[in-house]
Amino acid sequence: MTILADQTLLKQKNIETAELDGEWLLLNINTHAITKVNELGGYIWSILPEYPTVTELAEKVHSEYGVEMEVVLNDVQAFVEMLIEAGLIIHA
């Protein structure tokens, strides 16, 4: 699945989160599925409402971490696709 860089992404409303030792647990209340993400994944999850597209997320991660933009864009795209497949976010 390829998400267009400018598609708006929305968190599902049925997700609870917890941060433990730099890792994040995302619990889908409806399915009882738990998705564990690392610190960067948790950061992306936390800024998603303010930066609701792949491009905006990648630009923010790039500015915060200084990683090459092409690498960040590919990584954010893959992470977003994983979140969609896990039922944690949708694209509008």
Per-residue pLDDT tens digits for 18-48? 999 989 999 999 999 999 999 999 999 999 9
Per-residue pLDDT tens digits for 5-16? 889 999 999 999
Quote the pLDDT of residue 1: 54
Residue 91 pLDDT grade (very low, low, confident, very high; cuts 50, 70, 90): confident
Per-residue pLDDT tens digits for 55-65? 999 999 999 99
Residue 92 pLDDT grade (very low, low, confident, very high; cuts 50, 70, 90): confident
Q: What is the DSSP string of 11-69?
A: E-TTEEEEEETTEEEEEETTTTEEEEE-HHHHHHHHHTTTS-SHHHHHHHHHHHH---H
DSSP at 88: S
Neighbouring-strand partners of residue 34: 27
Give the start-to-end residue ranges of the domains of the chain. Answer: 13-86
